[in-house]
Structure 1
């Protein structure tokens, strides 16, 4: 009797289970993001907050899909990047000097983390201004407020530029057809528009800020959008219905240039490269990585023996089996912002799966505004069919410096 093959599983967004898993991962990411943000006060050690964040992620992930034979875990560990840092930062306990790094009052820090269910990962990055402990919350003004508000609008603009042409078109069939025939904005056009938003607030886009297509077990897919690309760097691909993306925006009060920092690379992820590792310590480290994290990024402090891991990854990186994320910061040591939103593009538009908290305009006060009509017109547009107009009108009023 012929063997019956198991039906092939549809892992695209056409399968409702896929979107449910993404949404479950996003809910966990949000919950932990809130909890980590509540720990960020002046004088707190970054490494301790990162450890607590990962513990919370593990606890929340353990509560869902119990007893199901599916992989689940952290899609990116808790990272907290100080003011001038461009990349996610997560120090090690065993690096004595960096383990003592504390948060400073008034600096903008970026919190990034994420969860994955069955390989469907969501990542979120939000930012906050570090407050003093047991002191009343003061409104943020001046250049820091300009940077945060600019990043909020740059993010909202980029999300709208991710909508495939004509997807939300209104009017007659002829008008809809005409809208759908328009070409998606090029990456150069996207960069130009975001740079206009940045300039309105006295900021610049951080060079090579990259948004990636997400896939199952993959947070750096075969498409990417690169804002303000450096020499010899280019993005590839436009967003389409049925895709999930990690959309990133990074601005700075400086010139936008980036430099490598003199810190150990503590974030790594497995590549598809195979290489015969010679050292038993390297093989043991890789074995633990494969078992715990698959192809998702991880911090060396998440491994059982942090000190052994620091030795074990050396050959893995040299052989290309692991990729290490080089720590980077603004070249002129100026404050940097970052938002990262995981979105799903469906036939109804863009759904924010994992996203930063809404900006509190009563707390973040900028006296600058956007005056470019093209940008204001895009910001007015809904992200999806179900989005109400009221919210967007408020958004325009704030963008143009209208009274509350």
Structure 2
């Protein structure tokens, strides 16, 4: 009986990976749906509500009739141009509920689903259509921001690979490669800085990648990019782990500030505290039942106004964590990407990830020239296991090849 009670929730259990992939499939569908809603004049609060309804409906379609927890891994959030953190306004805050998307605005969409506590979160950055980016062309600084974010993210994934993971050859060659030291967090930051500086951009201060676990999206290990004073990461990625990989890039200095907006995104902690107010206890009870330990928006609770009151003591008693609304200190445009990835003996698998961009749409003279960075970007993130790509036409070009083609196009235009 004791053996039956123990369940292996690691990636060694194929069922774990299946649940991650199912959650990711839902997240991808929802991201595509929400992206389609993001047009000039659309209200952010309406987009968030429709995104959550879509997520809810898709989640309800899987594991019907089975005693398995499932639900939101992250509510739908739509962050305006200079906002760094996920943003989800309330209908009962009139001023914020009226916020509409503007043409040519750089926005960040983040959301996620979880199946049996295995969460797949994804974030993409898009530009609201306008005459400026007609036919999906992205000129100047806008292009540089998106390119810097894309290539920094690609580099980070390669730097996260444990040494020797993809090496083929003799046992001696494999052992030699595996014996190499992994990239330190300081070295990772140094190389990422080279990428973003190539496009006159900056890493966003304290951008954090977390180890994921069952019912936990902020595990014991974390990578911190552009750490602020007194802040440091803990641990490095290893085979058999799932990580939430975040990349944040700014057209300004990358420094951040806390905004005056009401914090509406919260998450339950492991702290226990004797709540005194009935409204606080009611709020916490609803949170535990609906969202477990995953992030939620106050607008997702049954009574939004009551939730705004009930959450106060919960935050003060540290039974709920409050996510402050943070923005770029210079009010400069910020781009963010978030991927949920698994690390196995065959390399990194993007479980939930933003769609691959069409690099031909980004027009700029700037490019990555650092040879060390370019060499790393040429490397794959996983072994070729023989599976054919379903969409060869959309296969990404390497950084070097993309730059060469841009140069050729420029020469023809001259």
Which aligned pairs between 1:119-138 and structure 2 lie closer than 5 A? 119-132=117-130, 137-138=135-136
In structure 2, what is the Cα distance between the partners aligned to 1:286 and 1:15? 33
Deviation digits for residues 276-301 of structure 1 (CA, Å, limit 9, x no counterpart): 00000000000000000000000000
Residue equivalent to 1:164? 162
Contact 1:212 1:225 in 2 (8 A): yes
Q: Deviation of residue 136 (structure 1)?
A: 5.1
Contact 2:368–2:399 under 8 Å retained in 1:
no
Tell whether the 8 Å contact from 2:40 to 2:102 is kept in structure 1 after alignment: yes
Provide Cα deviations, 1:375-399, integer angstroms capped at 9, x if missing partner.
0110010111027999576443115
The answer for the alignment partner of 1:276 in structure 2 is 274
CA contact (8 A) 1:268 1:299 kept: yes
Between 378-387 and 41-50, the greater mean CA deviation after superposition = 378-387
For this pair of structures, how many residues does the alignment match?
A: 401
2:348 match: secondary structure: strand
Q: Does 1:59 align with 2:63?
A: no
Distance in 2 (CA, whole Å) between partners of 1:278 and 1:80 is: 34
State the distance in 2 between where 1:365 and 1:81 align: 24
Superposition deviation, residue 240 in structure 1: 0.5
* Counterparts of 2:261 and 2:113, CA distance in 1: 26
Q: TM-score, normalised by structure 2?
A: 0.94
Secondary structure of the 1:10 match is: coil
In the other structure, the counterpart of 1:231 is 229
Equivalence for 2:341: 343
2:412 aligns to what? none
Counterpart in the other structure of 1:380: 378
* TM superposition shift of 1:109: 0.2
**1:212-361 map, 5 Å:** 212-361=210-359
Shift in Å, 1:307? 0.3
**1:92 counterpart = 2:62:** no
CA-atom RMSD, angstroms? 1.7
Greater shift, 338-347 or 363-372, is seen at: 363-372
3-state SS, counterpart of residue 109 of structure 1: strand
Matches within 5 A, 1:27-66: 27-66=25-64
Q: Within 1, Cα distance between the matches of 2:148 and 2:168?
A: 29
141-150 or 359-368, which moves further after superposition?
A: 359-368
Structure-1 separation of matches of 2:359 and 2:272: 50
C-alpha contact 2:374 2:399 (8 A) present in aligned 1: no
Q: What residue ranges of structure 2 are gaps of 5+ in the alignment? A: 410-414
- Ranges in structure 1 where 5+ consecutive residues have no aligned partner: none
* Alpha-carbon shift at residue 23 of structure 1 (Å): 0.2
Greater Cα shift, 394-403 or 200-209: 394-403
Summarize the Cα distance change of 1:392–1:144 in structure 2 as closer, same or farther, 3 Å threshold. closer
1:70 aligns with 2:74: no
Tell me the residue number matched to 2:80. 82
